[in-house]
Amino acid sequence: MKRFSELIQQLETSNKTNDKIAALVDYFSNADDRDKTYVIAMFTGKKPKRPVNTALLRSWATELSGIPPWLFQESYSSVGDLSETIALVLPPPEKVTDRKLHEWITDLARLNGKSDEEKKAFILDAWNSLDTPQRFIFNKLISGNFRIGVSHKMLVNALAKQSDTDSNKIMHSIMGKWQPEEITYDALIEGAHVNTDNSWPYPFCLAYALEMQPEDLGSVADWQAEWKWDGIRGQIVKRNGELFIWSRGEELVTDQFPELHFLKDELEDGTVLDGEILSVKNGNVQVFSILQQRLNRKTINKAQLNDAPVGFYIYDLLELGTADIRNKPMVERRALLEQIVSKLQTKDVAILSPVIAFDSWETLTEIRQHSRDMNSEGIMLKRLDSTYHSGRKRGDWWKWKINPYTVDTVLIYAQKGSGRRANFYTDYTFAVRDGEKLITVAKAYSGLTDKEIKEVDAFVKRNAVEKFGPVRTVKPELVFEIAFEGIAESKRHKAGLALRFPRILRWRKDKKAEEINTLEDLRQLLNSTLS
């Protein structure tokens, strides 16, 4: 575990991608072979069943460190990470151990089903054998939430470099179905498991945001335009009589969308579709907040099926008759896709994402202005001769989003951040005016530069009016323009509405608190999106 703990420290103490990749390559070249697959599983978000719940860990750590629970909570608020807080508050270890990472993971898995006393004895003994950095790792192994700034892509690149293998192949292999205890590192890199696995999806082809003028893309004849839909990007895989629905987060979401299960009977084996899962009512795409009612539910009732029916707007065809056709030009893939969709018996549920006809960039610019009328976020531009890339590649696909909604608000509460910002007031709550009162409408954590954060932090420290635990009420003085992607009714919020993806667009130092927007402004906007 020491070697893995070193890797984590190396990854955390550099902000340069090349250094991180070098550290990963070094690790995968030298680490214990059985540890490696567990590390890949961890970095790709494969979570084992949590053997001990957080509340127990917390109470044991509090007990062992001899501090009152409220002080543990204060420490946790300051550190921002439970595993780390526990590692830091515990008394120093009295023993040492050189057990391997995979041995720890295996032992933790065996704790499932044991009594609390047995679990406690094991955990306390582990804490007493590990130094602070290793304790942190150990606690992370229990919770399974390992986020240490290694993106999927970075891991894939490191593995590709280490094994001298094509990165697309690696991406395939690690995205498929495998268990770290059942596969060797070499077999995983080889991808021996993916051919026999019916479910594996392809890496999604992603687009960059268009930052130039569309005119700079050249002739309109080379481009296809579609609406950019605001739902869940999904991949539907039909192989050997089985149907799988993958979300972009590489999660299998098949059970969540029974409306799409007819495709199991209607698609040929060896067919893979890329598209958007949307809520569609009477042929109209609904706003994201409607679809949201259907997400992450274990069971779905009739009312939900009725209120938020789901459809699939198909963008692309990746596999046809078991053949990977991603290298065919898009225009050919689209033609093949049209044939497949036309053969479907069930109409109007899985449909082609419509292509927008346009003859000049001016026309398209004009059409784009109406994106919100159909609950779209803007326009996607795809080069007609483009292949279906793995991941993000600049040049062939562009998302040309419409500008977000904005609202001017005033800062009224601040709280210290967690993670990298644990010692600064970085989490803000913003309000709009409602008559004489201020009413909160958004919380936002991002959008300011480090320098601005320090400025706001200093303001909060000097202008804190009241304390509620970690929250400070501040003089309503600083005005921020908040950008957001959507607005929805909400019973949970005092304002009666909630903003989607709110973030700080800019600090309006030029504006006074009297000049902010009103709740009525937002209500009007809400009504306009629902009609």
Partner 1 sequence: MSLIKFTNKGIYCEQGGFYIDPWQPVDLAVTTHGHADHVKWGNKAYLCHDLTRPILNQRLGPDLVIETLPYNKQVTINGVNLSLFPAGHVIGSSQIRLEYKGEICVVSGDYKVEYDGISTAFEPVKCHTFVSESTFGLPIYKWQPQELIFKQIQNWVSDNHDKGKTSVLVAYSLGKAQRLIKNLADYCQIYVHNSIANLNEGFIKAGVDLPETTRITPELKKEMLQQGIVIVPPAMAEGKWIKTLQQAATGVCSGWMQVRAGRRWRSADAGFALSDHADWPGLLDAIKATEAEKVFVTHGFTATFSKYLNEIGIAAEEVKTQYGNEEEEEPVPTTTEAI
Catalytic residue annotation: 228
C-alpha span between 236 and 243 (Å, rounded): 7
Whose Cβ is closer to partner 1: residue 6's or residue 32's? Answer: 6
CA atoms within 13 A on the CB side of 220: 12
Whose Cβ is closer to partner 1: residue 302's or residue 467's? Answer: 467
Amino acid sitting at position 392:
R
For the bound state, the minimum distance from the C-beta of residue 459 to partner 1, rounded and expressed in Å, comes to 5
User: Interacting stretch for partner 1, rule CB under 8 A, among 64-72, 115-123, 314-322, 328-336?
Assistant: 64-72
The answer to whether 276 and 315 are in contact (CB under 8 A) is: yes
For the bound state, the minimum distance from the C-beta of residue 149 to partner 1, rounded and expressed in Å, comes to 8
- 467's tokens: 């304390």
Whose Cβ is closer to partner 1: residue 136's or residue 229's? Answer: 136
CA atoms within 13 A on the CB side of 129: 15
User: Interacting stretch for partner 1, rule CB under 8 A, among 11-19, 114-122, 139-147, 372-380?
Assistant: 11-19
Query: What's the start-to-end Cα distance of the chain, in Å?
Result: 58
Whose Cβ is closer to partner 1: residue 153's or residue 421's? Answer: 421
For the bound state, the minimum distance from the C-beta of residue 490 to partner 1, rounded and expressed in Å, comes to 31
Whose Cβ is closer to partner 1: residue 85's or residue 162's? Answer: 85
Give the position of tokens 């202008």.
463
For the bound state, the minimum distance from the C-beta of residue 481 to partner 1, rounded and expressed in Å, comes to 16
Question: How many other C-beta atoms lie within 10 A of the C-beta of residue 297?
Answer: 11
Window 500 to 519, contacts with partner 1 (CB under 8 A): 509
Whose Cβ is closer to partner 1: residue 243's or residue 411's? Answer: 411
The answer to whether 172 and 57 are in contact (CB under 8 A) is: no
Secondary structure string (H, E, C) spanning 155-209: HHHHHHHHHCCCHHHHHHHHHCCCCCCCCCHHHHHHCCCCCCCCCCCCCCEECEE
The answer to whether 296 and 349 are in contact (CB under 8 A) is: no
Nearest to 316 by CA among 396, 209, 242: 396
Residues in contact with partner 1, total (CB under 8 A)? 38
Does 47 sit near partner 1 (CB under 8 A)? no
For the bound state, the minimum distance from the C-beta of residue 392 to partner 1, rounded and expressed in Å, comes to 24
Q: At what angle do helices 101-110 and 132-143 cross, to 10 degrees?
A: 50
For the bound state, the minimum distance from the C-beta of residue 75 to partner 1, rounded and expressed in Å, comes to 5
The answer to whether 7 and 25 are in contact (CB under 8 A) is: no
C-alpha span between 15 and 342 (Å, rounded): 50
Binding pattern for the stretch 71-100 against partner 1, x by CB under 8 A and - elsewhere? x--xx--xxxx--xx--xx--x--------
Binding pattern for the stretch 13-42 against partner 1, x by CB under 8 A and - elsewhere? xxx---------------------------
For the bound state, the minimum distance from the C-beta of residue 11 to partner 1, rounded and expressed in Å, comes to 11
For the bound state, the minimum distance from the C-beta of residue 457 to partner 1, rounded and expressed in Å, comes to 8
Binding pattern for the stretch 401-440 against partner 1, x by CB under 8 A and - elsewhere? ----------------xxxxxxxx----------------
Beta bridge partners of 317: 273
Binding pattern for the stretch 461-500 against partner 1, x by CB under 8 A and - elsewhere? -x----x---------xx----------------------
Whose Cβ is closer to partner 1: residue 213's or residue 449's? Answer: 449
Give the position of tokens 């908040």.
482
Window 127 to 146, contacts with partner 1 (CB under 8 A): 136
Nearest to 238 by CA among 307, 291, 314, 308: 314
Strand ranges in 191-343 using DSSP code E only, listed in sequence order: 205-206, 208-209, 223-229, 232-239, 242-247, 271-281, 284-285, 310-320, 323-324
Whose Cβ is closer to partner 1: residue 56's or residue 88's? Answer: 88
Binding-site ranges for partner 1 (CB under 8 A):
12-15, 65, 67-68, 70-71, 74-75, 78-81, 84-85, 88-89, 92, 136, 417-424, 454-455, 458-459, 462, 467, 477-478, 509
